[in-house]
């Protein structure tokens, strides 16, 4: 179970610039539905929206409000694909399942932008592409290899040399990389709130401040208990990612929650903005502890990276992000930094998202390893397909067995040690 968010870092740029949230009343008394969705981030909201659009009864329970978790706090980068390259995915999962995963993850960005257009979601979405920036020659070679693999599959992805990436980003800190034109960026909380509104309009019932406290198999379905009510459902979709609690053990032991943090400036003067990301792409770099950055619609510069478990450590990381920004863009020195915040991502042992069936009618989708704007949206759609009775072996993402991480209790020590090792390797440029 995650400790309460520190209020100092939960007041984000996104909540300060959010559209009005749709009303999601508390669950009270006894209710009944076909599919219950637990968790109101992109995974759960996309599942609820796709089910409701297909005319299936669906009720979503969210412990706080829609987008309260990572979906309302992230960098808003719409990143197609998975962490592994397409060839590696197909080699690992086979041509059939692997091929479906490559297709589903490659098209995930398009799904996001299509939903935004179809439902008129106001979230400053721009389809300008996603830049992956190489900090070493070895990383550049790997990214060029990635770009060629996608090109072979007909995707609009191109390798970048040092001059091209410098022109796109506005710094000569990177020696090349790639641009994936299927990606872009958006206001993450407004995207989540927009999905919630669209799901409601399509007929989904959304309850806020209704944490699922207890889940039982009643033989003819499931009963979920909250503080003020209970919900009977034929099947349940668990969509709690980095905020997974003890509701359905052993799910919490299949992921490690890791904090990611961001800092944002005040809106920048035009002459500074002209020199940073003039095409409004959102890059992530190739460091193991990667930096990801972008501008927002009001002309703020936002930098993100790995947080720490302690608040002191997290504050240190936020200071380091401001420093890294000044190094990349010296024109930022002395500007006002207006926001700092963070949230939890869910890391898996194999760095793949997991679609896991815990019981006949109980499916979980989680573990986006910090890359969930597009993937969680796409996973929610796959979960809706499963709930509507699509054949399991034909789903766009394979169902894999539950795999609790050994020694999960020691995860913080493991993560801290890995982070320290990665920091050293990044510093050495290896
Ligand atoms: C700081 C940060 C930056 C990131 N940047 C990017 C990025 O730029 N691009 C990208 O692709 N990804 C990014 N990510 C990752 C991305 O945000 C996540 O992968 C994605 O939002 C996961 O969506 P989700 O719906 O699965 O989970 P979440 O959005 O985390 O939602 C889970 C929800 O479950 C609810 N919940 C938990 N337990 C219960 C319960 N028992 N009952 C009811 N509700 C419950 C929680 O309240 C929460 O709202 C970032 C993440 C963070 C934290």
User: Higher-confidence residue: 312 or 336?
Assistant: 336
**DSSP symbols for 151-203:** HHTT--EEEE-HHHHHHHHS-SS---EEEETT-EE--HHHHHHHHHHHHHHHT
Is 157 within 8 Å of 182 (Cβ atoms)? yes
For the CA of 188, the nearest atom of ligand 1: 17
**Burial of 420 by CB count in 10 Å (0-12 exposed, 13-18 middle, 19+ buried)?**
exposed
* Omega of the bond leading into 310 within 30 degrees of 0 (cis): no
* Nearest-angstrom CA–CA distance, 185 and 262: 15
Pocket test for ligand 1, best of 12, 21, 26, 41 (most atoms within 8 A of CB): 41
Which of 4, 39, 183, 304 best tests ligand 1's pocket when mutated (most atoms within 8 Å of CB)? 39
Q: Tell me how far apart the alpha carbons of residues 320 and 203 are, in angstroms, rounded to a whole number.
A: 45
* pTM of full prediction above 0.85: yes
Q: What is the pLDDT at residue 11?
A: 80
Locate 217 and state its tokens: 């198999």
Mean pLDDT, the chain, integer: 93
Q: Report residue 109: phi and psi, to 5°.
A: -65, -45
Look at ligand 1, atom 2, and give the residue with the nearest C-alpha: 74
Ligand 1 atom nearest the C-alpha of 341 is: 1
CA distance 291 to 134: 11
Tokens matching residue 415:
């993560």
Q: Tokens 């390893």 map to which residue?
A: 369
Rg (CA), the chain: 21
Helix (H, G, I), strand (E, B) or coil at 97: helix
pLDDT at residue 428 is higher than 60: no
67: tokens are 């987008």
- Cα–Cα distances (Å) from 105 to 102, 127, 402, in that order, read 5, 16, 21
Ligand 1 in contact with 239 (CB < 6 A)? yes
CA of 49 to the centre of ligand 1 (A): 17
Q: Please, what is the Cα angle at 84 between 75 and 133, to 5 degrees?
A: 50
Residue 8: the pLDDT is 43
Please state the atom number of ligand 1 nearest to the C-alpha of residue 307. Answer: 1
Give residue-wise pLDDT tens across range 266-306.
999 999 999 999 999 999 999 867 899 999 999 999 999 98
365 lines ligand 1 (CB under 6 A): no
pLDDT band per the 50, 70, 90 thresholds, residue 420: low
Say yes or no to pLDDT of 121 above 50. Answer: yes
Is residue 69 in contact with ligand 1, taking CB distance under 6 Å?
yes
Query: For residue 419, what pLDDT is reported?
Result: 63
Task: Tell me the percentage of the chain whose pLDDT exceeds 70.
Answer: 92
CB neighbours of 91 closer than 8 A, spacing ≥ 6? 98
In this prediction, residues 354-360 reach a mean pLDDT of 97
Residues 14-69 pLDDT 10s:
999 999 999 999 999 999 999 999 999 999 999 999 999 999 999 999 999 999 99
- Alpha carbon 369 to its chain centroid, in Å, reads 8
Does residue 415 register a pLDDT over 90?
no
Ligand 1 atom nearest 372 alpha carbon = 19
Among 1, 59, 67, 74, name the best residue to mutate to test ligand 1's pocket (greatest count of ligand atoms within 8 A of Cβ).
Answer: 74
CA atoms within 13 A on the CB side of 214: 9
Residue 173 CA to ligand 1 centre (angstroms): 31
CB neighbour list of residue 281: distance below 8 Å, 6 or more residues apart: 128, 129, 130, 131, 168, 169, 179, 184, 185, 294
Length of the chain in terms of residues written: 430
Going by C-alpha positions, the residue among 377, 55, 50, 29 that lies closest to residue 207 is 29
Q: How far apart are CA 96 and CA 99, in angstroms?
A: 5
Enter the tokens of residue 367. 């573990």
HSE, side-chain direction, 13 A CA sphere, residue 240: 28
Q: How far is CA 193 from CA 18, 30, 186, 363, in A?
A: 9, 26, 12, 24
Looking up tokens 């801290």 gives: 416
- For 356, the enclosing helix (H) or strand (E) is strand 354-359
8 Å CB contact between 166 and 131? no
**Rounded CA gap, 223 and 186, in Å?**
36
> CA-to-CA distance for 16 and 367, rounded, in angstroms?
27
Pairing of strands 229-238, 362-366: parallel
């Amino acid at each position: 179970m995650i400790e309460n968010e520190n209020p100092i870092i939960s007041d984000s740029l996104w909540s300060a610039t959010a559209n009005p949230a749709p009303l999601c009343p508390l669950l009270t008394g006894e209710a009944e539905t076909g599919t219950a969705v637990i968790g109101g981030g992109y995974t759960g909201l996309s599942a609820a929206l796709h089910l409701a659009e297909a005319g299936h009864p669906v009720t979503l329970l969210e412990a706080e409000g829609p987008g309260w978790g990572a979906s309302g706090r992230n960098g808003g980068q719409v990143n197609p694909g998975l962490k592994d390259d397409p060839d590696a995915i197909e080699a690992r999962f086979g041509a059939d399942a692997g091929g479906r995963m490559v297709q589903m993850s490659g098209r995930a960005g398009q799904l996001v932008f299509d939903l935004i257009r179809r439902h008129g979601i106001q979230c400053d979405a721009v389809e300008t592409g996603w830049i992956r920036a190489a900090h070493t020659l070895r990383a550049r070679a790997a990214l060029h290899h990635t770009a060629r693999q996608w090109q072979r599959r007909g995707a609009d992805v191109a390798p970048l040399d040092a001059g091209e990436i410098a022109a796109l980003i506005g710094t000569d800190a990177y020696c090349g990389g790639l641009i994936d034109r299927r990606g872009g960026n958006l206001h993450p909380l407004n995207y989540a709130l927009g999905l919630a509104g669209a799901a409601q309009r399509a007929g989904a019932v959304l309850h806020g401040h209704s944490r699922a406290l207890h889940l039982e198999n009643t033989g003819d379905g499931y009963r979920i208990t909250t503080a003020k009510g209970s919900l009977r459902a034929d099947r349940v979709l668990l969509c709690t990612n980095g905020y997974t609690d003890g509701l359905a053990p052993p799910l919490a032991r299949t992921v490690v929650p890791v904090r990611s943090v961001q800092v944002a400036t005040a809106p920048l003067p035009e002459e500074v903005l002209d020199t940073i990301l003039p095409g409004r792409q959102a890059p992530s770099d190739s460091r193991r502890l990667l930096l990801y950055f972008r501008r927002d619609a009001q002309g703020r510069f936002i930098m993100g990276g790995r947080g720490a478990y302690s608040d002191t450590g997290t504050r240190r990381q936020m200071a380091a992000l401001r420093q890294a920004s000044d190094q990349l863009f010296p024109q930022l020195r002395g500007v006002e930094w207006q926001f700092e915040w963070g949230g939890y991502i869910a890391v898996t042992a194999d760095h793949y998202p997991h679609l896991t069936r815990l019981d006949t009618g109980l499916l979980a989708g989680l573990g986006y390893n910090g890359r969930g704007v597009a993937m969680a949206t796409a996973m929610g759609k796959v979960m809706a397909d499963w709930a509507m009775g699509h054949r399991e072996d034909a789903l766009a993402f394979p169902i894999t067995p539950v795999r609790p991480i050994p020694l999960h209790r020691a995860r913080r020590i493991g993560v801290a040690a890995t982070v320290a090792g990665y920091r050293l390797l990044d510093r050495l440029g290896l």
